[in-house]
Amino acid sequence: MYGALSMQGKVAIITGGAGGIGQATAELIIGRGGKAVIADINLESATSVAARFGDAALAVELDLLEEDSIRAMIAKVMGHFGRIDVLHNNAAATGADVVSADGAVGDMPTWVWDRLFSVNCRGTMIATREALPHLIEAKGSIVNTVSGLGLQGHIRSAAYGATKAAIIQLTRSIATAYGRQGVRCNAVAPGLVLTETVARDFPTKWRKLVEDETLRDRAGAPEDIAEAVAFLASDAARNITGQTLASDGGVSVHIPGFAAYTAAFAELAAG
């Protein structure tokens, strides 16, 4: 039905799969015939999501700070499904305590830097390392969720942005090292995504600043990012590897001051 976009027979691990982008990706992959592993630090939420899809989904507890937890997750997936075709490294440290303390470098608490690099970078590396033998066997695909903050500077979120830039480079390294063994590795860089949490908690003032720079009529939705992830994971992207696809509504492509220029030219045209 979906041609090269089909996920029929493929098993995809989705870290941070219990909500937001991860949940939307799981739903899309299952909808296209695949199986999804909902791997999340919140097992209760993961189990709730997986229960909606019956035998097509498996909930697994995953703590990216714990190497044994990552190994146990891979072992459980192999024991249950017997293969791994896709690894979507999507989970990140996004707790309110970390986000609120992640400012500019001059004010950076060391624990924030260490936490973000431990979860985002170290966790992504270990999950990839442990899945690689199975991905090589399956000629599989890795898709990393990064961020526009890994491509552009910001006055805040210095640690988060640095981790995402590091994962972009890790993406290239993995693609280069394992491409001849049949494994592709790409990244998706979202802009502002209106997950339930963001829609509820992100201040309207700051949200408007981002939306004013978007070349669409709205900010992104989790389903928008899921479509990009599923594409890169599918055979439709079989000749694409080592790339970072920005799915940000065009925020990263235009000149600085886009919103101000738009308003100024509109004012000129009106007057």
Q: Which residues are catalytic?
A: 160
CA distance 204 to 212: 12
φ/ψ of 172, rounded to 5, equals -65, -40
Structural Rg of the chain based on CA atoms? 19
CA distance 41 to 57: 16
CA angle 90, 31, 40 (to 5 degrees): 30
CA angle 82, 83, 85 (to 5 degrees): 160
Tokens for 218, please give them.
């709205």
Point out which residues pair with 220 in neighbouring strands. Answer: 193
In the three-class reduction of DSSP (H, G, I as helix; E, B as strand; rest coil), residue 203 is classed as coil
φ/ψ of 71, rounded to 5, equals -60, -40
**264, 271 in Cβ contact below 8 A?**
no
